Structure 1
Amino acid sequence: MERTVRSRVLIAALAAAGLLLGGAPSPEAEAAPGGPGAAGNEVVTWGASQVQLDEPGNFEDMTVRNLVHTSVGGRGLQVTLSNTAGEQPVTFSPVTVGVQAEGAAVVPGRQHQLTFDGESSVTIEPGETAQSDPLSWTVPADTTLAVSVHTEGDTGPVTGHTFANQVSYTASGDATDDVSGEAFDGTIENWYWVEALTVQPPREASTLAFFGDSITDGVGSTTNANLSWPDQLADRIAHSRYVHRFGVTNQGISANRLLEDGIGDAGLDRFAGDVLDEPSVSTVFVLEGVNDLRWDVATSPEYLTDAYQELISEAHAEGVCVVGATILPFGGSSRWNPEREEIRLEVNEWIRTSGAFDTVVDFDAVVRDPDNPVEMDPRYGDEDHLHPSDEGYTQMAEAVDLTTLDCDRAG
């Protein structure tokens, strides 16, 4: 696809110019506890919500190579590891980051070991996170990085992100320094323990947060292609006059609900931690509610509209702009019925007309079938009639007006 080709060309060019990261730490690229990154402020270039994964806790003495895709580039890369859903301390030693070459391989000679308060090992207590020391080289935008973590001892219940739409890799023992990828004989489609990557872009910038469920998470898009609508919007930004202005964190959780716990805490409960506590957040897109409708958690429009107003109040109190997104049609999918459809229509009309949000993006209008508006247009919907296809996510990303990304509420 065009995006993948563009990314490969970028990686090749950066490699030729010697700008890719990796290899044994060189003096100019070593981690510096508390050291400087760049002239700009810290923003999230990649992020994912963390939940307790349904794993047996069998990651003793193993390496997980998590592949994650950056949005904005910058210096001072820091990686946040999470044990927020764990039940016992987890020790990681060592942890490395490099640019993916292909599969589990990283660009030879261009990988770095991370440190935490100057140490190569870090133990994270249950419910806690740890952020690595900043590295003093430039991380490219729109690039897939490999964050490799080696676990010491039994990990217990695993913290991570389910349905990554990205294949990552596992190996026995400490394979963090393996650039060939040959030691990685297992594949996974979750992210393990990696919560966020932050950088300092070359100019003042901010973080865009995307808050929602599986539709924000990109379920239904092609694996390894970075085609969720937040990914595609980040791609638009990177090729616009707003380049270097925004980093992106995707806080969508598949099957998440706004009003009740499910996979992950209820949206109302996780909003502050997953969105407002992230560095330099200026704007959050809110697209959540379809699972509350499908499971009869929201049995009247007010359940959702009241919840939206609560999120808006929390965000505005922190100087954060809120973009409201209309709920996509889900006719033809399991759990659709006329009563739920009527609530969806009323909620969407409130989103469009209430004036509660700083800006509105009408995804319903973008992807619905004009001849049968209770369903998605066949060109834009996945076979399950609930999630968009790659093209549907493209239409959603294209529907966002880039001039409205920051309402400057903090100013």
Structure 2
Amino acid sequence: MRNTPTKDTPPRRRSETVTRRRFFGFVAAACLAAGLSACGNTQRLQATWTAAPQDYNEPFPVPGVPQPEPQSFQDQSIRHVMRVSAGGDKVRVRVSNLFGTAPVTLGGVHIARSTGGASINASTDTVLRFNGQESVTVPAGQEAWSDETSFSLPSQTDVAVTVYVPQTTSVATVHSQGQQTISVAAGNALGSATFTPTETRQSYYWVTGIDVLNDDARGIIVAFGDSITDGAYSTVDAANRYPDFLARRVAADPTLKGFSVVNQGIGGNRVLNDVIGTRALDRFQRDVLNTTGVTHAIILIGINDIGFGAFAPEQAVTADEIIAGLQTLVDQAKARNVAVFLGTLLPFKGTFPPYYSEETEAKRQAVNAWIRANTAQARGIIDFDAATRDQADPLQMRPEYDSGDHLHPNDTGYEAMANAIDLTLFR
């Protein structure tokens, strides 16, 4: 029935109608971009696990360190285990060939509830399809998402994503520092409840993301950084990286229902120089701003810019250059309406020289002073330095938090980092 204006409801002018259409068009676009349920009660996609992709063949930036040995798989199954943050009733999985120079064909990709080690609950084993097909070929330099698939996934549970590699395939795209046992078996063992691994590793191959679909999706916190975010020296298979501890705190807080925490750290990563991992300035868009439904970001990076420059003088950078890089990341996040928080760099006195020296410590102090002043106008700062430093010697890490290398925390230290984050920042 056509609405006819009355004397109490004057007809709308054309400009008013166009303005309203544009407004609601912008709202709809924003909802689709955010993927969040705040725009309605329909289900939304939400990132629940990520692993930042790396080029396996990139050289280590320290003179004398040998190049990585080539790796390949052929007629083998790789079972990856990952701890998800948020749950849902549908999933999709991303496979990546970003650093490949040739297409990668996976003969199948399955997801199932993990029961520990290389075992799965076979009743939950689910085939993932890509455009309706069980196999997928990903061209060089590209990624592919599986179709959304019904799969009951509670929050804070372990899932297994198994891929089958039928033909000889060189490894190029990988996440090196998984801190999780990855099992490799001969042949096609996609749906096997258990298989006897021919070998185990701690890297993720080609699998870089899991999204869930649910009604509660409300916020996604991306932890972005280097090995301290990636969880170096945390207990393998225990999910004890600082973002894991943060995810458990968030899941236990009823005021943050609908939030997830994902980890986009890369061990050895830097703000200004490539190797190890694409530099932060170039990967921030991909690994943070393109994360499904991202609403918040925690940036903790810069210590490798300081330390590695001592080994490779041509890559040495000043504190001001690091600060300028961090400012760029903050500006990019704010331009996308992502609430961004800067973390202070942890103490590292005692780390092997010349990574640590009076000169490198002076750079850390300068960067931290800038972060604490919040000159970048981030949404807030998180003082990881204050949370982990030794009160008797503030330049070094508290002994009970130290993994032993005086640079990376242990499990207790990672928990202290997570506990230093005020959850009201996300409310």
In 2, Cα distance between the equivalents of 1:359 and 1:40?
A: 30
Residue 48 of structure 2 is aligned to residue 45 of structure 1: yes
CA drift of 1:207 comes to: 1.6
SS of the aligned residue for 1:310 comes to: helix
Residue 157 of structure 2 is aligned to residue 137 of structure 1: no
Residue 275 of structure 2 is aligned to residue 262 of structure 1: yes
Q: Are the aligned partners of 1:88 and 1:155 in contact in 2 as well (CA < 8 Å)?
A: no
Choose the corresponding residue for 2:324, options 278, 285, 306. Answer: 306
- What's the CA shift string for 1:293-332, capped at 9, x where partnerless? 1023454321111111101111111111110000001000
CA drift of 1:333 comes to: 0.4
SS of the aligned residue for 2:235 comes to: coil
Residue 356 of structure 2 is aligned to residue 336 of structure 1: yes
In 2, Cα distance between the equivalents of 1:55 and 1:298?
A: 27
- The aligned residue for residue 274 of structure 1 is 287
Q: Are the aligned partners of 1:216 and 1:252 in contact in 2 as well (CA < 8 Å)?
A: yes
1:161-176 aligned within 5 A: 161-176=175-190
- What's the CA shift string for 1:192-215, capped at 9, x where partnerless? 111100012332422211111000
SS of the aligned residue for 2:381 comes to: strand
Structure 1 residue ranges, 4+ long, deviating more than 3 angstroms after superposition: none
- The aligned residue for residue 197 of structure 1 is 210
CA drift of 1:355 comes to: 4.1
SS of the aligned residue for 1:237 comes to: helix
Q: Which stretch of structure 1 is more off in the superposition, 196-205 or 223-232?
A: 196-205
In 1, Cα distance between the equivalents of 2:153 and 2:390?
A: 41
- The aligned residue for residue 65 of structure 1 is 79
1:210-249 aligned within 5 A: 210-249=223-262
In 2, Cα distance between the equivalents of 1:55 and 1:242?
A: 48
AA partner of residue 211 (structure 1): F
1:45-124 aligned within 5 A: 45-53=48-56, 54=68, 56-124=70-138
- The aligned residue for residue 208 of structure 1 is 221
- The aligned residue for residue 33 of structure 1 is none
- The aligned residue for residue 382 of structure 2 is 361
CA drift of 1:266 comes to: 0.9
Q: Are the aligned partners of 1:85 and 1:157 in contact in 2 as well (CA < 8 Å)?
A: no
CA drift of 1:178 comes to: 0.8
Q: TM-score, normalised by structure 2?
A: 0.84
AA partner of residue 293 (structure 1): I
- What's the CA shift string for 1:67-103, capped at 9, x where partnerless? 1110011122000011111111111111111011121
In 2, Cα distance between the equivalents of 1:305 and 1:293?
A: 12
Change (3 A) 1:200 1:55: farther
Q: Are the aligned partners of 1:45 and 1:248 in contact in 2 as well (CA < 8 Å)?
A: yes
Question: How many correspondences in the alignment?
Answer: 368
- The aligned residue for residue 5 of structure 1 is none
Q: What value does the CA root-mean-square deviation take over the aligned residues?
A: 1.4
SS of the aligned residue for 2:170 comes to: coil
- What's the CA shift string for 1:102-153, capped at 9, x where partnerless? 2101013221111111111110001111111111233111111110000122
Question: Which consecutive unaligned segments of at least 5 residues does structure 1 have?
Answer: 1-37, 407-411
CA drift of 1:55 comes to: 5.5
Question: Which consecutive unaligned segments of at least 5 residues does structure 2 have?
Answer: 1-40, 57-67, 310-314
1:341-356 aligned within 5 A: 341-356=361-376
Larger Rg: 2
Q: Are the aligned partners of 1:289 and 1:327 in contact in 2 as well (CA < 8 Å)?
A: yes
- The aligned residue for residue 390 of structure 1 is 411
SS of the aligned residue for 1:369 comes to: coil
In 1, Cα distance between the equivalents of 2:259 and 2:360?
A: 36
Percent identity over paired residues: 37
